[in-house]
Amino acid sequence: MKMDGEKIINAPKQEVWDALNNPEKLKLAIPGAENVEKKDENNLTATVKTKIGPISAKFTGNIILSNINPPTSYTLTGEGAGGAAGFAKGTANVELIEVSEGTLLKYNVDANVGGKLAQIGQRLIETTANKLADDFFGKFNEILDPETNNVDEVETTEKVVTVDNIDTVAAKEKVVQDLANKSCRSMVAVIDAMCQRGAFKGEELSTIGGLRDQCIQVIQGVEELEQEKALNS
């Protein structure tokens, strides 16, 4: 599978580069990441839980950084094992270009999967990969963009949707899922921003962490339902 794209990150080039090399920020941005650890300057380990169609897996693997040209570009080569679900491996080239809006991040990926994952179809794999990429860059932008993380001045322009005038059960379910997804994503962003500011006391962190985990579970649950619907359509 080959995939390429580009995204505008609302932050200076050096800040984007630093974040791409920061395990804690990567863990916050990567969908389903349970652990990201830097072994040395050129090696990372990661554990990521994900679901592609009907198959759920927890991948544990290594990522090697090469062709490093700070703060402009590098190559990532990774391989992860997902137990009975199979394996995934690939290479990604990343380039940062300074633009008026911040930083243009360009990437191209060459990846493949094996085992049960290889049996579910290229189309679903590509759809899931694109969605995971969009989720990653959306969260990555939230982490780096101070305006996105400013929970003191939240301006809501989006129309509030209710289920009162929706006729079908399926339509109501979709609205409820969307509202739950958006609410939980907002809650996670608020919690992360407040934690960065040191707003919580030590004895509160366990409760706050549990709330964040519940929100992540809701987000992942909604994503799984969407993937299953895509598989059945």
Chain segment 165-187, per-residue pLDDT in tens: 555 666 777 778 888 888 888 88
Let me know whether 221 and 140 are in one domain.
no
Q: Please say if the pLDDT value at position 157 is more than 60.
A: no
Let me know whether 140 and 163 are in one domain.
no
Tokens of 223: 């994503």
Task: Say which residues have a Cβ less than 8 Å from residue 84's Cβ, sequence separation at least 6.
Answer: 115, 116
Distance CA 27, CA 197 (A): 18
- What percent of the chain lies above the pLDDT cut of 90? 39
> In 3D, which of 78, 38, 41 has the Cα closest to residue 59?
78
**Domain coverage including residue 114:** 1-145
CB 81 within 8 A of CB 48: no
Q: Which of 112, 127, 145 is the last residue of a domain?
A: 145
Q: How many domains does the chain have?
A: 2
Let me know whether 169 and 63 are in one domain.
no
Q: Please say if the pLDDT value at position 24 is more than 60.
A: yes
Helix (H, G, I), strand (E, B) or coil at 207: helix
What's residue 147's pLDDT? 56
Let me know whether 153 and 219 are in one domain.
yes
Q: Which of 93, 127, 145 is the last residue of a domain?
A: 145
Let me know whether 105 and 136 are in one domain.
yes
Let me know whether 42 and 16 are in one domain.
yes
Let me know whether 61 and 42 are in one domain.
yes
Which range has highest mean pLDDT (26-35, 110-119, 222-231)? 26-35
Let me know whether 95 and 178 are in one domain.
no
Strand order in the sheet with 87-99: 2-9, 102-114, 87-99, 73-81, 55-69, 43-52, 33-40
Chain segment 36-93, per-residue pLDDT in tens: 999 998 999 999 998 887 888 899 999 999 999 999 999 999 999 988 888 999 999 9
Q: Which of 104, 128, 145 is the last residue of a domain?
A: 145
Does the predicted model carry a pTM greater than 0.85? Answer: no
